[in-house]
Structures are given as structure tokens and as C-alpha cells.
Amino acid sequence: MRTRILTGAVLALLLTSADGAHAERWVVVNGVRLSIPQIQYLEGLRCGPIPNGSYWLDTSSGIWGFAGDPRPQGHIQDNCSNPGRRPSLSERGMLLSPRDFID
């Protein structure tokens, strides 16, 4: 009985820490940390996920790069213009998270 309680407590602790880590986003654009809705808006413009990190974005042209590096890395909509590109699992809603296994 004691082992079951301990196992349940450890499992609950692991699941709560996984949810917290899963939800944490750290995207900084032009020196401003973005909120989740702002990140989702940019991901919609980009046609794909934006990794955590610091970036600069020229809002008038759509050109972006990494913070501290003046060299452009691309255009915000580069992912949208590739007709042969297959959408990722997350874009197709097929990527599973730990909470998908909990009833």
C-alpha cells in the first residue's frame, strides 16, 4: 500500500513538472518578451513553430534574424511559400503531449 502511494506521488510530481516545462515559452523579439498570444500570432504568420530564443524582426519588411547578429536569417513567411513542404506533426495536430495519456 505504501509503495502505491509513493509511486502515485512521484508520478503526480513528474506530470506537474512536465506540464510546467511544456507551457514555458521564452521568445524575445526586438528586446520584448512575447506573451503566448503574441507568439501564436507570429507562428501563424510564419506558418510554423518559433523556437524559444531572442530575435530581431523588421516589421515593415518581415526580415528576421537572431538578436545580437545583424545578418538576416530569412523572411517571416519563408515556411509558407514552400508548396512541397509537408506540414509538421504539430501543424497537423498530431503531436502528442504527456497530458494526452492521462484519463
Report pLDDT digits (tens) over 33-77.
999 999 999 999 998 899 999 999 999 999 999 999 999 999 998
pTM above 0.85, yes or no: no
Task: Return the pLDDT at 62.
Answer: 92
Cell digits for 13?
510530481
Q: Is 23 exposed, middle or buried (0-12, 13-18, 19+ CB in 10 A)?
A: exposed
